[in-house]
């Protein structure tokens, strides 16, 4: 609190001088916007408070609303009896200096809110009220509950002004808001950690499901194709055996002809040709036998493959259950964080 500045106009004289002073400043003004700035200037100079007089309440409440929205009250302009503009009030006559309240510069009533711990001012603006050229009052407006806080105001011992409510409520109000902001920050950290854990668990479950599904599809495809492949191998072996039965007599006859004395080159060539055909059939049958043996071995493994597919599905289901639990915890943490963030919001504008 700054050192009080003595107000030269006594409170007990102020009420009687209000109407006459206002009329002297603007004798030809009409009610409304023309008179309003001068009403504000005079009412702000009342040591008992700007709205202490019933006549002041409409003008001052209109000023609070304007200031709370970042708007300025126009300067009070003196007018002659003929209605001519004689300029704004000077500091000697009751000038009002209006400024926006900035938590980073001119506001001593700061607090932080939200989980980001953003710094705010308890008020939206401040006016410096000059009387007889001296700064007698600093009035903070747009504060908690919309009520102004009048600072540096001299109290006349003969007519004291009621004490301001703001200094008494500010310390606990600030502590409460900042405690909520601290909680919002803590719960946000907890939520982000829970969210990260849930995402990791969900990725693990998704990978397990992909592995289980891919293996199950592979087993199903093998099982579906196996009977046809086995039958095809059996048919190839049967055909090879039939071809061998037909080729052996030809081979025996070709060998006998080639053994005859004076066998012709054609007979020898025919024997080579028949032998090549027999070898080709034997090679084909051997390949078919190997293929069939492999297919039968795969068929024998099907029960184990089904068991593995079931095991992979169970692993994936267990991973999914863990992921679901982690997601539920993350959702709860988010709800807690959101509630804490909502509770940690800054003071609301007093006039919407």
Q: What digits encode the pLDDT tens for the residues 101-115?
A: 899 998 989 999 999
Residue 223 lies in a domain: yes
What's the CA dihedral at 37, 43, 47, 51 to 10 degrees? -120
Q: Which residues contact residue 41 at a Cβ distance below 8 angstroms, ignoring those fewer than 6 apart?
A: 76, 89, 94, 95, 96
Determine, yes or no, domain membership for 118. Answer: yes
Give me 134's structure tokens. 């001296």
More confident residue, 70 or 164: 164
| 149, 211: one domain | no
CA dihedral 27, 33, 39, 41 (to 10 degrees): -110
Instruction: Judge if 159 and 189 occupy the same domain.
Output: no
271 part of a folded domain: yes
For residue 74, what are its two tokens? 């126009």
The rounded distance, in Å, linking the Cα atoms of 24 and 164 is 31
> Is 207 in the same domain as 97?
no
Is 120 among the domain residues?
Answer: yes
228 and 99 in a common domain:
no
Q: What is the CATH number of the domain that holds 255?
A: 1.10.287
Question: Which residues have CB under 8 Å from 108's CB, separation 6+?
Answer: none
**DSSP β-bridge partners for residue 137:** 129
Do 274 and 311 share a domain, yes or no? yes
**Average pLDDT for the chain:** 83
The vertex-132 CA angle with 128 and 137, nearest 5°, equals 30
Q: Please report the pLDDT score of residue 277 as a whole number.
A: 94
Over residues 16-69, the pLDDT tens digits come to 444 445 445 444 444 445 678 778 777 776 766 677 788 888 888 887 777 666
> Distance of CA 285 to CAs 51, 228, 230, 248, Å?
112, 18, 14, 15
* Token code pair at residue 34: 């023309």
The answer on 95 and 62 residing in a single domain is yes
Contacts of 160 (CB under 8 A, 6+ apart): none
Cα–Cα distance measured from residue 185 to residue 192, given in angstroms and rounded to the nearest whole number:
11
Q: Do residues 141 and 205 both lie within one domain?
A: no
Rg (CA), the chain: 49
Say if 198 falls within a structural domain: yes
Residues 17 and 150 in one domain: yes
Beta bridge partners of 131: 134
State which of 129, 164, 199 marks the end of a domain.
Answer: 164
324 pLDDT above the threshold of 90: yes
Distance CA 343, CA 347 (A): 10
Identify whether the C-beta of residue 6 lies closer than 8 Å to the C-beta of residue 137: no
At 34 the pLDDT is 66
Evaluate whether residue 119 is within a structural domain: yes
Residue 334 lies in a domain: yes
Please indicate, yes or no, if residue 1 is contained in any of the structural domains.
no
How many domains in the chain? 2
What domain range includes position 237? 185-343
Percent of the chain with pLDDT over 90: 53
**Domain shared by 193 and 338, yes or no:** yes
For 249, which DSSP code? H
Reduced to 3 states (helix: H, G, I; strand: E, B; else coil), residue 134 is strand
Helix (H) / strand (E) containing 86: strand 85-88
Could you give the CA distance from residue 265 to residue 243 in angstroms, rounded to a whole number? 26
198 in the same domain as 78: no
Residue/partner pairs of 22-27 with CB below 8 Å, 24 or more apart: 25/76, 25/78, 25/79, 25/89, 26/76, 26/77, 26/78, 26/79, 27/79, 27/80, 27/81
Strand, coil or helix: what is 90?
A: coil
224 shares its domain with 106: no
Q: What is the mean pLDDT of residues 191-198?
A: 98
Instruction: Say whether both 158 and 213 belong to one domain.
Output: no
Residue 1 pLDDT more than 60?
no
Q: DSSP H helical segments within the chain, as ranges?
A: 11-25, 36-44, 57-68, 166-259, 265-343
């Amino acid at each position: 609190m700054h050192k009080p500045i003595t107000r030269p106009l006594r409170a007990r004289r102020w009420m009687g001088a209000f109407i006459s002073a206002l009329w002297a400043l603007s004798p030809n003004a009409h009610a409304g916007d023309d008179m309003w700035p001068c009403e504000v200037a005079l009412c702000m100079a009342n040591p008992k408070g700007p709205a202490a007089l019933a006549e002041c309440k409409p003008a001052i409440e209109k000023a609070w609303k304007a200031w709370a929205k970042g708007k300025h009250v126009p300067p009070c302009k003196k007018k002659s009896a003929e209605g001519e503009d004689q300029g704004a009030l000077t500091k000697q006559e009751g000038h009002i200096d209006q400024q926006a309240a900035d938590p980073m510069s001119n506001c001593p009533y700061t607090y932080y809110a939200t989980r980001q711990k953003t710094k705010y001012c308890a008020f939206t603006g401040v006016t410096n009220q000059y009387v007889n050229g001296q700064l007698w009052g600093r009035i903070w407006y747009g504060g908690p509950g919309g009520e102004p806080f009048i600072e540096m105001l001299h109290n006349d011992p003969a007519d004291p002004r009621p004490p301001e409510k703001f200094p008494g409520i500010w310390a606990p109000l600030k502590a409460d808001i900042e405690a909520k902001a601290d909680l919002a920050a803590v719960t946000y950290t907890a939520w982000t950690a829970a969210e990260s854990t849930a995402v990791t668990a969900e990725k693990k479950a998704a990978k397990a499901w992909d592995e289980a599904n891919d293996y199950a599809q592979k087993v199903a495809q093998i099982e579906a194709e196996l009977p046809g492949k086995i039958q095809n191998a059996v048919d190839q072996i049967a055909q090879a055996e039939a071809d061998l039965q037909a080729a052996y007599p030809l081979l025996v006859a070709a060998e006998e002809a080639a053994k005859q004395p004076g066998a012709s080159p054609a007979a020898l060539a025919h024997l080579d040709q028949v032998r090549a055909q027999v070898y080709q059939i034997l090679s084909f049958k051997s390949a078919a036998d190997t293929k069939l043996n492999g297919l039968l071995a795969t068929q024998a493994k099907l029960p184990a493959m089904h068991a593995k597919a079931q095991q992979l599905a169970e692993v994936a289901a267990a991973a999914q259950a863990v992921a679901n639990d982690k997601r539920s915890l993350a959702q709860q943490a988010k709800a807690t964080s959101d509630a804490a963030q909502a509770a940690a919001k800054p003071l609301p504008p007093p006039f919407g």
